[in-house]
Structure 1
């Protein structure tokens, strides 16, 4: 079964074609429960808001290094793992994300930077998309 992402095209008065894609086309969340929807939003908001919060703490001179506040990424990993446990089909990669966060942020001697947080947040976003499209409820978009 092939799945397609529908892109709506609107005709602009100046003969420009504007394409608008809904977030629901990318992240299939229509058939999720309220708790699953909340966890989806939290798993995206926590890491990205943590990056913004670290900039605010750095600009207020509370933290010397703006990359030192890594707790948004760590909490986002735990939320993603909790969401993965709620689905019938279990995704071992999403369930193991808290362990990845502990390994990357605490046991390796990588300096905590904004770049590391952005890369980890991008990874969590991709893992959320993978979890929803491959392991989500049976009547959402499924890949072979």
Structure 2
């Protein structure tokens, strides 16, 4: 039966130890992913908590990285088209549609991976997605 009232100072002075202190390894880019995609992968994984992604997230994260790289390449082509003397409106329109398609795919995958502000905050802007870590938990 529990004792009522304040706890004695001797009970409060006892220190509990953590038995299962382990290092959580971050998810590494899969073999066969391009250099640019690997850079995006590392940037995303490093921005999240060490245990935010697991092996089951690898395929979706790899697809997200591919869409980011493709979107960047399309933006380079759009910038070249805008900087040129004769702007071919049909080609320009195709590039804009391609970029919109990549942007939609990126947005959808980012939300599914919970790496967007929308996925990690509530309607008041309070951070809901990230778990609070205890001081003894190590991120790797």
Common fold: TM-score over 0.5: no
Larger radius of gyration: 2
TM-score of the aligned structures, taking structure 1 as reference length = 0.34
More helix by share: 1
With normalisation by structure 2, the TM-score equals 0.35
